[in-house]
Chain A
Amino acid sequence: MSWTGLDDFLDRAATRLDPPKGPSHLAEGGDLEHVPADLIAAIRPAAVLIGIVPRVEEPSVVLTTRPATMKSHAGQVAFPGGKIDPGDADEVAAALREAEEEVGAPVDRTDVIGRGAPYISGSAYRITPVVGLLPPDFIAKPDPLEVDEAFETPLSFLMDPANHQAREGVWKGRTRRYYEMPHNGYRIWGVTAGIIRALHDQLYRGEGG
């Protein structure tokens, strides 16, 4: 199966992802084999919001570019999100808090649909992607300290595997595979593209194709 519309996407997300609360069952994915050995014991929990905006004509996903001045992943395309703080009740709370801080997502008007499989990044984060439905009138208010730019990419584009370009690169002497899904001048790749690819597979793979 592949993308047939937002209604179907949300139904799949609600039935195939882990529910917003409770234990998670989906198997971890990501780049565990690329986490340096000394960091494996110190993998830190993080969460991102896959914020769906139900634009009437073309439902979209909120993405950001990180300021060039940032310590890690500078200039890269990323979902709003970050580390779990001690004050966060859970991954969902962390994702919503970060999305509110970074792009002004209205927490009380965001409908959390579910949690995707945790994604282990090479930088030793265990990232839980939280799928949330934002209001149709959402306007991003990027915080210039954390976000260079907030933009939207069509969900139908991201959920089409034909747009998931498999790439290989040598990094620190090792070959790494990653995905890249360039759109409208934005280079969506690495962890963000990996999370999108995993979401696609969780929602559209198996159970009748």
Chain B
Amino acid sequence: MAERDVKSTAPGLGSVEDTLKAIIGEGDDRGRLPPVHLWNPSYCGDIDMEIRADGSWWHEGVRIGREKLVRLFSTILRKDPDGQIYLVTPYEKIIVHVEDAPFLAVRVDRAGTPGPEQTLAFTTNVGDITLAGPDAALRVETDPETLEPAPYVRVRAALDAKITRPAFYELAEMAVPNPEDGGRTLGVWSQGVFFPIGPAEAP
């Protein structure tokens, strides 16, 4: 234990708890997400609700500007087996047209002991925090034409956050060679899982 404590105070890295506290601050309500998985309202509608690739929310072409309202709606997002994302309440199920991913991961923090057991904590544009690991995969898709990487991290249930460019650059800084392919690819560790993020050298 003592040795671990010493390591976790290495510059820039705090314990997972301290790091989370620093990001979240007071008044955290993440633990109180509505039980969307329990609801099966018979009514389903499409009212031109849209989440654009930049994470902004739009209703009938008008941007929803109020952050708290977007946050509230984001807590009732659900992705169903049909692949469609909905806003779900006990009374209604409303289609959401998602251009890319329903969330944006705008920040990444590294906590714990550096190495395989470190934890990467992603903060979304609506204030969720997701810890990459066995239950929250990080994946990088590559556009076959532009070869542009498109990184995502799981937030909850089947809902992903697109990792923004600045956060992805930070991830790249933390990248280490993949132990399984002799270092041909690079990746990052979080909670004992290695997530490849790209080739070791740009093509």
Contact = CB atoms under 8 A, between A and B. Distances in A.
Contact of A11 (B65, B72, B89, B91): B65
B116 interface: no
Contacts of B90: 137, 139
A55 B45 CA distance: 12
Contact of A135 (B47, B59, B72, B92): B72
B89 A136 contact: yes
A133 B89 contact: no
Interface stretch (A2-10, A22-30, A68-76, A184-192): A2-10
A57 B94 contact: yes
B62 A5 contact: yes
Interface size of A as a range: 10 to 19
A104 interface: no
Interface in B81-132: 87, 89-92, 94
A177 interface: no
A143 B93 CA distance: 28
B76 A137 contact: yes
A10 B69 contact: yes
B65 A133 contact: no
A4 B89 CA distance: 23
A118 B18 CA distance: 45
Given A136-B89, A137-B89, A7 B94 contact: no
Interface string B54-85: 00000100101110110011011000000000
A111 interface: yes
Interface in A99-136: 109, 111, 133, 135-136
A54 B69 contact: yes
Contact of B87 (A4, A10, A56, A111): A56
Interface in A46-69: 54-57
B49 interface: yes
B30 interface: no
A137 B49 CA distance: 18
17 contacts: A7-B59, A7-B64, A7-B65, A7-B66, A10-B68, A10-B69, A56-B92, A56-B94, A57-B47, A57-B92, A57-B94, A133-B69, A136-B72, A136-B73, A136-B76, A137-B39, A137-B89
Interface of B: 29, 32, 34, 36, 39, 45, 47, 49, 59, 62, 64-66, 68-69, 72-73, 75-76, 87, 89-92, 94
Interface of A: 4-7, 10-11, 54-57, 109, 111, 133, 135-137, 139
Given A11-B65, A11-B66, 4 more contacts: A7-B65, A56-B49, A57-B47, A135-B75
